[in-house]
């Protein structure tokens, strides 16, 4: 009882990298395996991805009171220490959930940038943008993170703290206080996550919010689209102007 209470008191939204956080993730996975809760494939996959990180499974102890050495070892250990299954069984369960009808009750995914700090999949989705924006491992600070994610400074600070606790960011030794660098652990976490994502769905947004200021709108479009996509936008805007001009001349005649 004390064991479960500790995990529920911490919750997934607590500080990543802490025993309470890791325990909360494990309890979520155990509940799904026991069919105590109903989730969708994406949610289970997100919990699985977090549990596979050393920052999670190394916080948990086996029957001998020693930290687990791997995610697979945690899976094979019997409850309450582990999940009591093979890792491939969780993969099979994820696949089956993804094939289920859309009528199944699922867990909602919040969209607000502050509220979704507790949503596991967002850790990887947003951090992958940082990795993509810093191919040469440039130093990062909160303003730079805010620029990449298009977030306010306070929200960028929240994400920075979460990733630092996970061990995906570390203080830069060459750029001074307040600057951070992406760790090898962070790069590997993103690499593993990207390899399991459906092709064509990586880092895609459903829409782009464009400012009314023409210059800022142009900067936003350039930042959000690839060259070929920008040419298509340019073509469509040109065609729109041509149609308006044709209509104007027709009305004048």
- 66-122 per-position pLDDT tens digit: 999 999 999 999 998 999 999 999 999 988 887 764 444 444 444 444 445 555 667
Write down the pLDDT at residue 248. 59
* C-alpha separations of 9 from 3, 42, 239 in Å: 10, 24, 58
Write down the pLDDT at residue 102. 45
pTM, full prediction: 0.54
Write down the pLDDT at residue 114. 47
Max avg pLDDT among 73-77, 161-165, 178-182: 73-77
- Rounded CA-CA distance 237/253 in Å is 25
- Rounded CA-CA distance 64/66 in Å is 6
Check pLDDT > 70 for residue 51: yes
């Amino acid at each position: 009882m004390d064991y479960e209470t500790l995990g529920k008191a911490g919750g997934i939204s607590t500080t990543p990298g802490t025993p309470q956080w890791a325990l909360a993730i494990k309890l979520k996975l155990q509940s799904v395996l026991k069919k105590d809760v109903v989730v969708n494939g994406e949610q289970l996959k997100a919990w699985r991805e977090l549990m596979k990180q050393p920052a999670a499974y190394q916080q948990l102890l086996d029957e001998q009171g020693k930290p687990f050495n791997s995610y697979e070892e945690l899976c094979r250990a019997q409850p309450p220490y582990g999940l009591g299954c093979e890792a491939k069984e969780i993969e099979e369960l994820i696949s089956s959930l993804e094939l289920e009808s859309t009528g199944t009750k699922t867990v909602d995914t919040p969209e607000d940038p502050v509220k979704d700090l507790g949503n596991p999949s967002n850790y990887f989705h947003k951090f992958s943008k940082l990795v993509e924006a810093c191919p040469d491992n440039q130093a990062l600070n909160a303003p730079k993170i805010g620029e990449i994610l298009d977030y306010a400074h306070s929200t960028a600070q929240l994400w920075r703290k979460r990733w630092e606790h996970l061990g995906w960011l570390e203080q830069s030794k060459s750029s001074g206080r307040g600057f951070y660098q992406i760790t090898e652990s962070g790069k590997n976490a993103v690499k593993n996550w990207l390899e399991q994502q459906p092709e064509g769905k990586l880092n895609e947004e459903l829409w782009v919010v464009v400012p009314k200021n023409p210059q800022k709108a142009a900067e936003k479009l350039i930042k959000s689209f690839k060259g070929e996509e920008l040419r298509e936008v340019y073509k469509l805007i040109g065609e729109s102007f041509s149609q308006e001009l044709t209509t104007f001349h027709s009305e004048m005649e």
